């Protein structure tokens, strides 16, 4: 067994020059919500889910963004309802939330 079965990384990068960045679009709130929901669901800890902070994930134009590994599923989100759906559907049940997928063409 691996130490964690899944990681979800949230880009929390802040750009000072006014360029698109996840930090300027509510990424910290999404991270905080996800972390608390994962913990409340009993999903945190060895063999389960790790909620991680990340620097720039190079998908700034789609921000805020998060990526779930090992599946390499990229999400964008707007509010707590989106985060709740990612946790409940993907992290609990292993079902990708299609409506929140970040299109592969979205980059910086």
In the chain, where the domains are located: 6-100
Assigned superfamily of 6-100: Glutaredoxin (3.40.30.10)
d(CA 1, CA 39): 20
For 89, other C-beta atoms within 10 Å of its C-beta total 15
pLDDT digits (tens), the chain, 108 positions = 578 999 999 999 988 887 778 998 999 999 999 999 999 999 999 999 999 999 999 998 888 999 999 999 999 999 999 999 999 999 999 999 999 999 998 887
- pTM of full prediction above 0.75: yes
């Amino acid at each position: 067994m691996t130490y964690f079965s899944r990681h979800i990384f949230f880009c929390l990068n802040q750009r000072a020059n006014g360029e698109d960045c996840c930090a300027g679009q509510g990424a910290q709130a999404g991270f905080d919500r996800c972390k608390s929901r994962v913990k409340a669901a009993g999903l945190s800890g060895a063999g389960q889910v790790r909620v991680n902070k990340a620097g720039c994930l190079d998908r700034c134009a789609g921000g805020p963004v998060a990526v779930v590994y090992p599946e390499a599923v990229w999400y964008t989100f707007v509010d707590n309802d989106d985060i709740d759906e990612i946790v409940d559907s993907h992290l609990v049940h292993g079902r990708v939330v299609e409506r929140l997928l970040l299109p592969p063409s979205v980059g910086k």
